[in-house]
Structures are given as structure tokens and as C-alpha cells.
Homo-oligomer: A and B are copies of this chain.
Amino acid sequence: MSTSDAAMHDSDVVAPDSSWLTEDELDDIRDRVPQVYVQAVPVRLDHLGRASHVGLLLRAMPDGTISRAIVSGRVHHRELVREALWRHLCKDLGPEADPQLPVAPAPFTIAEYFPEPARTGFHDPRQHAVALVYLVPVTGDCEPSADALDFSWIRVAELGDANVTAEMSSGHHRLITMALAHAGVHT
């Protein structure tokens, strides 16, 4: 299992609601239909709305590697996309993050994950998933959730640095590049 699992890392296989699925059940469904995911690129803005920093989690991957990652997770059965975004942002960034969900429901892009790494460049060994990707301004204090090692705000000017890029699976780095292009930021 590669570091690019980070792309679709989610800890909510066992969720505390009616969408509870065992690992076996989820594995079975993952072999039959594409899964719906949400992903969020957290950003700090200046007072004119320009993105100045991108928020990145640092996570231990199942294979023991460490990768920088954006917020990601499944949309549950009977859950609104906005509710899933809110749930994953609160879980990954902590209760004081105060994320500002987008006014428009259209994602700025979609990312299609496949078990074959080369098909789209977005790789998830577990499943075929379609992720709706949003840019989410965050104004509050972030503290990484229990399953993350760290959370850092990286200045947009540093996101092209080879060191930062090397810490990220290529899928995540590409989504950040696309998010900043959408935000009109030069990296």
C-alpha cells in the first residue's frame, strides 16, 4: 500500500450513525460501485480574500510512511455533501477551526481515484471513488485530529518547494496546485 493512500484516507469506516458498515461489507461494495467522497483544501485568506496559506495534515499511512494530506472522506448514505464536508473538516481540523463552507455546491474540480495508479494520476488501492473537491477558507484555530501527527499552514510561495512536494503523494500536490490556480494564486 503506497503513500498515495493518503489521497483518500478516511477513518470513518465505522461511523456512529445509520450508515455503519463493517469493513467486509464496505470492501464488498467498493468492488461494485464507485464511492462518493469529499475533499477540502483548507486555506487562510487575507482581508481581500486572497489565499495566503494552505493547511496540510501530516498523517501516518497504513504502510508506515508519513504524508502531508488535505481533508478527505466518504459521504455517508443519507448524508448531504455539505454535512459530509462539515463532518470531515471538524474531525480533521478540530472543533475550533471554523471552516467556511462554499456558497455554491459545485466543486471547483472533481478527482477520480482508481486502484490503477496511472489511469488518472489519482490513486486509491482500495477503490474507485469520485471526489468532489472544494476550497475551504478556515479562520479559526486548527488542531490535528487523533489520527494525524501534525497540522501546518504552509505559505503558498513555499508549496512549489521540492521538500514540501516530496512530502506529499502526487495526487494531493496536484489538487493543491489546481486549487491555487482556481484561486488565482501564482505558485
Contacts and interface: CB of A to CB of B under 8 A. Distances in A.
Interface of A: 19, 21, 25, 29, 31-36, 43, 45, 47-51, 74-83, 86, 100-110, 112, 114, 120-121, 128, 130, 132, 135, 137, 174, 177-178, 181-184, 186
Given A34-B36, A77-B31, A77-B128, A104 B182 contact: yes
Q: Indicate the member of A49, A102, A183 with the most B CB atoms within 10 Å.
A: A49
A27 B47 CA distance: 33
Given A34-B75, A47-B101, 9 more contacts: A33-B33, A34-B77, A50-B82, A100-B100, A100-B137, A103-B135, A107-B107, A110-B132, A178-B182
A76 to B, nearest CB: 8
19 contacts: A31-B77, A33-B36, A33-B74, A34-B75, A34-B79, A36-B36, A36-B130, A49-B82, A49-B103, A50-B82, A75-B130, A81-B110, A103-B135, A103-B183, A105-B183, A106-B108, A109-B184, A177-B181, A178-B184
B106 A106 contact: yes
Nearest to A132: B110
A181 B176 CA distance: 10
Q: State the main secondary structure of chain A at its contact with B.
A: loop
A101 to B, nearest CB: 3
A103 B31 CA distance: 29
